[in-house]
Amino acid sequence: MLNDTLANGLSIVQQNDKQGKRDCNVQPASKTTKRVLEVLNEEGYIGQAEEAYAARGGQLKVHLLGTINKIGVIKPRFAVKISDFEKFEKRYLPAKGMGVLIISTSQGIMTHEAAKEKKIGGRLIAYCY
């Protein structure tokens, strides 16, 4: 039984990327999963994510670029202030300036760098490097 669609989707992406595949199907698709994949596309970790019809839950076809070392969700979803970003960067990313934390804010899902620029906090949901 599936409990976390985002964690399932990101693990599928990581497994297929490590195997050297050019694309994969993430199922079931949710709005959160789709937005996180869009952020990863904007940052250059994956290619486009396109919706494909499936009977239950929908499906996303993700084009892979082979640039992911590690990707995962952050549980529990820590609440983060602007001053706390550096602490979580040290915890989840291998080096300063390498990788991204993905944060859910009141203005939508974005990277920690974009949240710093907008001076807003939120909840940590994923990381990628």
**What's the length of the chain?**
129
Task: For residues 75 and 59, state if they share a domain.
Answer: no
Task: Tell me: do 24 and 40 sit in the same domain.
Answer: yes
Q: What are phi and psi of 96, to 5 degrees?
A: -65, 130
CA distances (Å), origin 90, targets 57, 93, 97, 99, 108: 35, 6, 10, 11, 24
Beta strands across the sheet bearing 59-64: 23-26, 59-64, 46-52
Q: Which of 21, 44, 64 is the last residue of a domain?
A: 64
Domain closes at, from 43, 64, 85: 64
Instruction: Please check whether residue 124 is in contact with residue 75, taking contact to mean a CB–CB distance below 8 angstroms.
Output: no
Q: Domain tally for the chain? A: 2
Are both 47 and 89 inside the same structural domain?
no
Report the pLDDT averaged over residues 109-118. 96
Distance CA 34, CA 31 (A): 5
Tell me the pLDDT tens digit for each residue of 59-85. Answer: 999 999 999 999 999 999 999 999 999
Is this model's pTM higher than 0.85 or not?
yes
Query: At residue 69, what is the residue type?
Result: N
CATH number of the domain to which 122 belongs: 3.30.1490.10
Q: Domain boundary at 44, 64, 84, which?
A: 64
79/59 same-domain check: no
4-63 pLDDT, tens digit per residue, is 999 999 999 999 999 999 999 999 889 999 999 999 999 999 999 999 877 777 899 999
Mark whether 56 and 77 lie in a shared domain: no
- Do 34 and 57 sit in the same domain of this protein? yes
Report residue 113's pLDDT band, with 50, 70 and 90 as the boundaries. very high
Same domain, 76 and 41: no
Residue 29 lies in domain: 5-64
- The answer, yes or no, to whether residue 108 has pLDDT greater than 70, is yes
